[in-house]
Amino acid sequence: MKKPLFAEEQIYHIYNRGVEKRDIFLDNTDYLRFIHNLFEFNDSAPVLNAGYYFNPINHELNLKKKQRELLVEIFVFTLMPNHFHLLLRQKRENGIVRFLQKLGTGYTMYFNKKYERVGGLFQGRFKATLVDKEAHFIHLPCYIHTNPLILNYGGSTSIKFLENYKWSSFLDYIGKRNFPSVTNRNFILNIFGGEEDYRKYIEDWVIENKDKKHSELINDILLE
């Protein structure tokens, strides 16, 4: 896939996975660290120290830092054991590339030190698709937020599984505080009509697409 030329105020679906499809999140602390990095590295200024952090008890952000200059707006995210999805809007020139470089480098350094390994953690450069069609805005958040259903081996594709999956922005989208400081949800929620309507749309979307593989779903979305 040819990488788009990133432009300010344009929205992109970003995806990357572990090298050789290896898991990049091995325990809850890894997920928390990556989500912390989503917030911390979204700043034009270099990261000099851990001036703010996630409280591991309630997942809130303790903000003790000057006003940030955002590189991107993070609308949606989902973390899976061996990959991640982001829906971003670029706010500054080269913002997406700068943000993903900081995110990838920072998390790889953390992961390699923790697990005593060396070398790259991710499978090359991240993949990116310009989101510029109405169908993309309607279906991509659903696709990203329902990714965890892949992990529900042998279980129901009920939305209840998603409501118990912490490592995405879905809970915040339906009014259950999880990592509210990481995402800007107003844009997407305005499209769907609010938190209750978004939850209902996801529930209907899961039922409608229960017999499709996720690889088929993303192809259908991009072709619309």
Q: Is residue 67 part of a domain?
A: yes
Q: Assess whether 193 and 175 both reside in one domain.
A: yes
Q: Is residue 98 part of a domain?
A: yes
pLDDT digits (tens, 9 = 90+) for 119-173: 999 998 899 999 988 878 888 999 999 999 888 755 556 788 999 999 999 999 9
Domain that holds residue 126: 11-130
CATH of the domain at 26: 3.30.70.1290
Q: Assess whether 115 and 53 both reside in one domain.
A: yes
**The predicted structure's pLDDT at residue 135:** 77
| Structure-model confidence comparison of residues 75 and 61, the more confident one | 75
Q: What is the pTM of this model?
A: 0.86
Q: Assess whether 35 and 112 both reside in one domain.
A: yes
Q: Is residue 200 part of a domain?
A: yes
Residues 6+ apart with CB under 8 A from 94: 6
Q: Are 95 and 72 in contact (CB under 8 A)?
A: yes
Q: What is the mean pLDDT of residues 60-86?
A: 83
- What is the total count of domains within the chain? 2
- Separation between Cα atoms, residue 221 and residue 177, nearest integer Å: 29
Domain end point (choices 115, 130, 145) = 130
Q: Assess whether 138 and 115 both reside in one domain.
A: no
